[in-house]
Amino acid sequence: MKRFKVRVALPALLCLSLAACNTHKEHGESEHHHIVATSPLVKDVRITQQYVGQIRSKRNINIRALDDGFLEPIPIKEGQRVKQGDVLFQIKPILYQAKLEAERAEAKLAELELRNTERLAKQNVVSQNEVALYQAKWDKAKAKVKLAEAELGFTVITAPFDGLVDRLHEMQGSLIKERDILTTLSDNSEMWVYFNVPEARYLDYMQAPSYEKESQTIELVLANGKSFPERGVIAAIEAQFNNETGNIPFRADFKNPNGLLRHGQTGNVLIHRTQHNAVVIPQRPTFEILDKQYVYVIDKDNVVHQREITIQHEQEDVFVIKHGLEEGERFVLEGVRQVHDDQKLEECEFCTPEKAMAHPKHHAE
């Protein structure tokens, strides 16, 4: 009985297997001929370019000692905001004050001598040469007074502009020397953000019409992922490229009314602009050969041709085409793996550009 069952079951299994293969073959042939074509969509596209930026204060300077001496009590604190003209540091002025008083006394004596000589000259007791000599002596004494006043002024260091005081490098009583750094002062009312732009994008920016530059939006995204509330402007482009990286530094300026930004921070600069009448296609029908992108274009005789395309911008699941496709041309959207160059299509379903772009993540069969 067991031997009889085996002889009957084997042909049955073989027939079932062949039927399954035929069914799969028919289904495969059906899939083989399922080609969907579409055309590029022409529309206005919002283009975003992202760069890593270094945030710098508009003015960030070292406050240095102008002369030697001992520091007196310091009237400021670290992190304090100061106004232009506020006293930051002062060196004990005893020697400079004494020198100034001595020079003033010398100048007073020279003036008295000049006045006395002038009276004698009027009485013809001395010549006018004597008067000129004492005039020169008094002028020299006055110059020494001004020099002593300037030296005394070096003992008081004031803020050259409104700003934020950094860490104090010296404390009260410290013996300091001329040019020693005492602290740093930052003007954070406006921040300068530097970022590097590749040469190709630099050329696109410089050759763009003025209305496109004016309509672009400069955004700054901070380290916590949040966008800085103020919008920036491109204020400067450096004079030369970095030959090693092929980049050129740009500078975007941002108002900083609330003082959120500080010197030395980092962030991402986003440049948003609208490109009008851009040629847009989904990414899925494209394929890459040796770092070049291609699509299969269908001519008027339904013959497929492989064509290279140049990508201008890449967005999520979408390519903005610079060269290679034009409005109205047909290309293979689905079934890319089932066609080859110079193949004539017997059947081809057409999908509108709007529908193709509505589901850019849908995968081809």
Tens digit of pLDDT for each residue in 330-343?
999 999 999 999 99
Model confidence at 21, pLDDT cuts 50, 70, 90, reads very low
Mean pLDDT, to the nearest integer, of 118-130?
87
pLDDT of res. 358 = 81
Residue 360 pLDDT level (bands cut at 50, 70, 90):
low
Q: For residue 17, what are its two tokens?
A: 């297997």
At residue 121 the predicted structure's pLDDT band, cuts being 50, 70 and 90, is confident
Q: Model confidence at 323, in pLDDT bands (50, 70, 90)?
A: very high
User: Which DSSP letter does residue 337 get?
Assistant: G
- DSSP alpha helices (H): ranges in the chain? 2-32, 94-122, 128-153, 199-207, 210-215, 353-358
Enumerate residues 6+ apart whose C-beta is below 8 A from 232.
Answer: 193, 218, 219, 220, 252, 253, 254, 269
- The pLDDT assigned to 61 comes to 96
Report whether 188 contacts 262 (CB < 8 A): yes
- The H or E element spanning position 323 is strand 318-323
Q: What is the pLDDT of residues 153-189, one digit of tens each?
A: 888 999 999 999 999 999 998 888 989 999 999 999 9
pLDDT at 148: 86
- Read off the pLDDT band of 18 (50, 70, 90): very low
pLDDT tens, position by position, 206-238: 988 887 777 889 999 999 999 999 999 999 999
Q: Would you state the pLDDT for residue 51?
A: 96
Instruction: Give the model's pLDDT for residue 13.
Output: 30
Q: What's the CA gap between 323 and 335, in Å, rounded?
A: 23
Confidence of residue 361 (pLDDT cuts 50, 70, 90): low
**Would you give the DSSP letter of residue 336?**
G
- 143's tokens: 């110059």
Residue 250 has pLDDT above 70, yes or no: yes
Strand 181-198 and strand 163-165: pairing? antiparallel
From 20-24, 39-43, 182-186, 197-201, the region with the lowest mean pLDDT: 20-24
Q: Indicate the angle between helix axes 128-153 and 94-122, nearest 10 degrees.
A: 160
Higher pLDDT among residues 7 and 260, named by residue: 260
Average pLDDT over residues 240-244: 92
- State the burial class of residue 311 (Cβ atoms within 10 Å of its Cβ: 0-12, 13-18, 19+): middle
Residue 211: phi, psi to the nearest 5? Answer: -65, -30
Would you state the pLDDT for residue 10? 32
Map out the domains of the chain with their CATH numbers: 32-45+277-358 (2.40.420.20), 48-57+188-276 (2.40.30.170), 67-184 (2.40.50.100)
pTM score, whole prediction: 0.70
| Greatest mean pLDDT among 118-132, 184-198, 301-315 | 184-198
